[in-house]
Amino acid sequence: MQTLPWSWYTDPDVLRREQERIFRSAWQYVGHGGMVAEDGDQFAAEAGDVPVLVVRDGEAVGAFLNVCRHRGSQLVEGSGNGKSIQCPYHAWTYGLDGRLRAAPRADREAGFDADGLSLVELRLEQWGSLLFVNPDVDASPLLETLGPVTELVPLDGLEFRVRDDYELGANWKIACENYLECYHCPVAHKGFSAAFEVSPDSYRLEPTGEHVLSQFAPSKEDGEGQFHFVWPNLRINVYPGPGNVSVGPMLPAGPEWSRGYLDYFFATDAEETWIEELMAFDRQVGAEDRALVERVQRGVRSALIEHGRLLPESEQLVARFQELVRAAL
């Protein structure tokens, strides 16, 4: 079984097609409810290359394209709070409901019509306190996409702790594919393989939903780790022990560059030392994976080989991911 053509991991035209055909119609995690807890809270995020603005307006949390209707400036950077959203370029000012409320000198322009100049609304839906945005207004509901994940992963009683940001010198698909197999675990993750059963007879790979590819790793002590991938680019990790979830996307930042983050949530009664140990463990695995995916990028870039060879059993989830990419493009 062949991999995707390796040129797809360096070609800017392929990335352009991926942005249009994958990311513009997918549900994408953008943050959590704590980021918009108060009226007027707002933060910038990304859904693929679509700039997103998430805003709390009273009881409602909504998402807009983070782009000014005047000459296209990005509106909000980072996060903030306010009664309105003001563009830093010429001070067009929008309400928290997205309507254009004021534009300096507009009264001197005949026929200026603020009504057609509201911010463009995007779909926003929640799973527990996790916020997802989809640029496609006709998308099917988020919970349909998440399928079995909402039953497998309990979010109740968890509290946000920290966001880890990262950048990788690798195409986003290489990062996803690396996440989707544990064939490399015995070789490249000694710590992980000491704590979890990684042999093919114990470690389970399961497409648990149309858009969900899951992995279950029995712990050598008690319980099991769950590692879910939600198409096109979301990781959801649950370790055994006290309540914990980490969730975050792998976003393309260029044909050979990706970036992302992981938001960590823990049960309020989880012990501090346990949390710190788990995070150190997870960051160690992350550092090992970074080295792996950057090596792959350097290899596939060489252009003398057209594609690689997949193992249909041990890399079945990678194969499924590549099928989804192929079908989308």
Binding site for Fe ion (CB under 5 A): 289
CA distance 66 to 19: 17
Enumerate residues 6+ apart whose C-beta is below 8 A from 72.
none
Task: Give the nearest distance from C-beta 94 to ligand FES in angstroms.
Answer: 10
Nearer to Fe ion, 289 or 315 (CB): 289
Nearer to ligand FES, 90 or 307 (CB): 90
Task: Give the nearest distance from C-beta 178 to Fe ion in angstroms.
Answer: 6
CA distance 255 to 240: 35
CA distance 69 to 75: 10
The helix/strand count (H/E) of the chain reads as 8, 17
- Per partner kind, with CB cut-offs from 5 to 8 A, the member of Fe ion, ligand FES, none near residue 289 is Fe ion
Task: Give the nearest distance from C-beta 319 to ligand FES in angstroms.
Answer: 45
Closest C-alpha among 220, 208, 251 to residue 233: 251
Q: Which of 73, 74, 79, 219 binds ligand FES (CB under 6 A)?
A: 73
Task: Give the nearest distance from C-beta 116 to ligand FES in angstroms.
Answer: 15
Q: Which of 9, 23, 29, 92 binds ligand FES (CB under 6 A)?
A: 92
- Per partner kind, with CB cut-offs from 5 to 8 A, the member of Fe ion, ligand FES, none near residue 70 is ligand FES
CA distance 59 to 86: 21
84 in contact with ligand FES (CB under 6 A):
no
Q: Which of 68, 185, 275, 278 binds ligand FES (CB under 6 A)?
A: 68
Nearer to ligand FES, 104 or 200 (CB): 104
Q: Which of 83, 90, 99, 295 binds ligand FES (CB under 6 A)?
A: 90
Closest C-alpha among 199, 207, 201 to residue 180: 207
Peptide bond into 232 cis (omega under 30): yes
CA distance 147 to 290: 29
- Per partner kind, with CB cut-offs from 5 to 8 A, the member of Fe ion, ligand FES, none near residue 203 is none
Closest C-alpha among 166, 124, 159 to residue 141: 124
Nearer to ligand FES, 117 or 155 (CB): 117
99 in contact with ligand FES (CB under 6 A):
no
Q: Which of 87, 142, 168, 310 binds ligand FES (CB under 6 A)?
A: 87
Nearer to Fe ion, 145 or 258 (CB): 258
274 in contact with ligand FES (CB under 6 A):
no
Per DSSP, the residues of 149-185 read HHHHS--TTEEEEEEEEEEESS-HHHHHHHHT--TTH
27 in contact with ligand FES (CB under 6 A):
no
Q: Which of 70, 163, 184, 320 binds ligand FES (CB under 6 A)?
A: 70
Nearer to ligand FES, 93 or 219 (CB): 93
User: 167 with 257: CB under 8 angstroms?
Assistant: yes
4 in contact with ligand FES (CB under 6 A):
no
Residue with tokens 């360096």: 10
CA distance 175 to 179: 6
Site stretch for ligand FES (CB under 6 A), options 70-78, 131-139, 172-180, 286-294: 70-78
For residue 113, how many other CB atoms are within 10 A of its CB?
9
Q: Which residues bind ligand FES (CB under 6 A)?
A: 68, 70-71, 73, 87, 89-90, 92
